[in-house]
Amino acid sequence: TNIDHLLTYTVSSGVATITGTSEDVSGNITFSSEIDGYPIEEIGEEAFMMMYDIEGIKIPEGVKKIGKYAFWFCDGITSVELPESLVEIGSNAFAYCESLESINLPANLDSFAVNFLDGCSALTSIDLTYFNTKKVKNMRYMFNDCKSLTGLDLSKFNTDKVTNMDN
């Protein structure tokens, strides 16, 4: 379901940041890469926080950042499709999405808060195949409380700069 007509946003320097929706949304959602002629480059802090009835989300190409707590406690989400344009994920962005089963991490992602998947207890797989690990320094809580994670191939995961792997 396209939710363009429900999005609220701000504009700065000619680009839009999604700040939320005019009403709760549900089901599998998507939105366009621009709104009222402004390219969407960011999903702001708390934009979809605690919208329990979202089941899946496809974030459009062009979005570069997902803010802190953007999808926090959206515990109905089972799948997330992230765009290749994404470079940053904020803290707790998908934390406690307890039904989330899988997520892809795009190759361009180079900044993420280590706890962005905290409490995703249904998460069974994470595709790290093309994930750029060169800037990863802190892996603390990276997979905290991901109880269903059955396999994780870290063979290409560069841990040369990692200084903290505590959980």
Q: What is the pLDDT of residues 96-133, one digit of tens each?
A: 999 999 888 888 887 777 788 899 999 988 877 666 66
- 91: CB partners within 8 A, 6+ apart: 68, 69, 113, 115, 116
Q: Is the pLDDT of residue 39 over 80?
A: yes
pLDDT confidence bin for 136, thresholds 50/70/90: low
- Residues 2 and 62: their CA atoms lie apart, in Å, by 16
With residue 15 as reference, give the H or E element that holds it. Answer: strand 15-21
What pLDDT does residue 35 have? 97
Give the up-direction half-sphere exposure of residue 67: CA atoms within 13 A in the CB hemisphere. 14
Closest by CA position to 118, among listed 150, 96, 137: 96
- The first and second tokens of residue 146, run together, are 């991901």
Q: Is the pLDDT of residue 134 over 90?
A: no
Residue 94 DSSP label: S
Residues 24, 59, 103, 158: is their CA dihedral positive or negative?
negative
Task: Name the residue with higher pLDDT: 118 or 12.
Answer: 12
Q: Which residues of 133-144 are buried (b: 16+ CB within 10 A; e: fewer)?
A: beebeebebbbb
Q: What is the pLDDT of residues 47-93, one digit of tens each?
A: 999 999 999 999 999 999 999 999 999 999 999 999 999 999 998 99
Taking the complete model, does pTM exceed 0.85, yes or no?
A: yes
Give the three-class secondary structure for 129.
Answer: coil
What pLDDT does residue 125 have? 81
